[in-house]
Amino acid sequence: MPDMSTPRILVFDSGVGGLSVAACIHRALPGAELVYLADNAGFPYGGQSEQVVIARSCALIGECLAQFSCDVIVVACNTASTVVLPHLRAMTVVPVVGVVPAVKPAAACSVNRRIGLLATPATIQRPYLDDLIAEFASDCEIVRVGHPGLVSWAEQLVQGGEPPQVELDEAMAPLRANAVDTVVLGCTHYPLLLPWLRKSLPEVNTWVESGEAIARRVGFLLEQSGRLTEAETTRADGAPVVIQACFTGAAPGDIAYFMMEMGIAVARISGQWPGATAAGSV
């Protein structure tokens, strides 16, 4: 593990969705530094083959670890988490945390046993999702929606855009028709859309995401390495939370302001990150 005075966590996604997870980690562990790595040159991962997602994720994360010693890796991308975790764990001793759709806590919350599951079209079709439902929500009616537009609408928020409410309402029609009382946000981009999702489905009582559970897991791993106290102690220096945000493509406009508004101010932003070239991913 890296010998650093401040615990450091690498958060990886294909775009800006992982920022929702980064914000949860910061709220739980305000003393930790974050490195944010976004493969927006390969976005969206839902449209890539498993082999491409594995190759890009492993190469980019490996190069990032060579530049920034980190205590924990968080794969804050549902699509990547379904295929890449065993490969990452085989290539590094740094603990790896993935994202799992929060089916289990949703089943614990639902009163009428009707649960909506929002995910990317790729994640919706993964067999592991069937296994999660069979294990934790077999007594529930699960209404799955794998809409291709949600992730792109979330990405547009960085540019100051808003999702088209009429189209979003149409996408949510199956959940409305089945009177779900709980919705699983099965993609890390989707918490960014919550204001519009709540407007579309005001009757939903509970929205369940994975960010807080990931933060707890990261805290557990830091505790195992004796670094939890440092991570939980708010730093007095007022330094930015994210020491560097690396984008394999162009850095999104207004990303610094967007991150500041989320409570995770960034010190440095690298668009067309050179590490992507070194990793052979661009």
Tens digit of each residue's pLDDT (9 = 90 or more) over 182-211:
999 999 999 999 999 999 999 999 999 999
- What is 103-208's CATH number? 3.40.50.1860
More confident residue, 123 or 145: 145
- List the single range of 75-89, 113-127, 209-223, 225-239 with lowest mean pLDDT: 225-239
The predicted pLDDT at position 4 comes to 56
The predicted pLDDT at position 126 comes to 85
Give dist(CA 68, CA 58) in Å, integer.
15
Tokens of 227: 């670094």
Give the CATH fold of the 8-99+211-278 domain.
Rossmann fold (3.40.50)
Give dist(CA 41, CA 276) in Å, integer.
9
The predicted pLDDT at position 198 comes to 98
Confidence of residue 281 (pLDDT cuts 50, 70, 90): low
Give dist(CA 215, CA 268) in Å, integer.
23
Numbered ranges of CATH 3.40.50.1860 in the chain: 8-99+211-278, 103-208
The predicted pLDDT at position 3 comes to 42
- List the single range of 5-9, 21-25, 92-96, 216-220 with lowest mean pLDDT: 5-9
Beta sheet of 206-208, edge-to-edge order: 141-145, 114-118, 182-185, 206-208
Give dist(CA 102, CA 183) in Å, integer.
9
Q: Dump pLDDT digits (tens) for 209-227.
A: 999 999 999 999 999 999 8
Confidence of residue 282 (pLDDT cuts 50, 70, 90): low
Annotated binding site: 13-14, 45-46, 78-79, 188-189
The predicted pLDDT at position 128 comes to 87
Per-chain mean pLDDT for the chain: 93
Q: Dump pLDDT digits (tens) for 128-153.
A: 899 999 999 999 999 999 998 999 99
Instruction: Specify whether 187 is catalytic.
Output: yes
Confidence of residue 1 (pLDDT cuts 50, 70, 90): very low
Which of 24, 70, 187, 246 is catalytic? The answer is: 187
Annotated binding site for substrate: 13-14, 45-46, 78-79, 188-189
pLDDT at 55 over 60: yes
Q: Rounded mean pLDDT of 61-67?
A: 96
Q: Rounded mean pLDDT of 96-122?
A: 95
pLDDT at 71 over 90: yes
* DSSP annotation of 270: E
- Which residues are registered as beta bridge partners of 115? 142, 182
More confident residue, 19 or 238: 19
Give the residue carrying structure tokens 């930015």: 240
Confidence of residue 280 (pLDDT cuts 50, 70, 90): low
Instruction: Specify whether 77 is catalytic.
Output: yes
Which of 64, 77, 140, 246 is catalytic? The answer is: 77
Q: What percent of the chain has pLDDT over 90?
A: 81
Q: Rounded mean pLDDT of 267-271?
A: 96
**Which pairs with CB-CB distance under 8 Å and at least 24 residues apart come from 169-175?**
169/200, 171/145, 171/147, 172/145, 172/197, 172/200, 172/201, 174/116, 174/143, 174/145, 175/116, 175/143, 175/145, 175/201, 175/204
Across the chain, the runs of DSSP E, i.e. the strands, are 8-13, 33-38, 72-75, 96-97, 114-118, 141-145, 182-185, 206-208, 242-247, 269-270
Tokens of 28: 């739980």
More confident residue, 121 or 169: 169
The predicted pLDDT at position 234 comes to 82
- In contact, 154 and 192? CB cutoff 8 Å: yes
Q: What is the dihedral of CA 15, 81, 262, 221, to 10 degrees?
A: -140
Q: Rounded mean pLDDT of 95-107?
A: 95
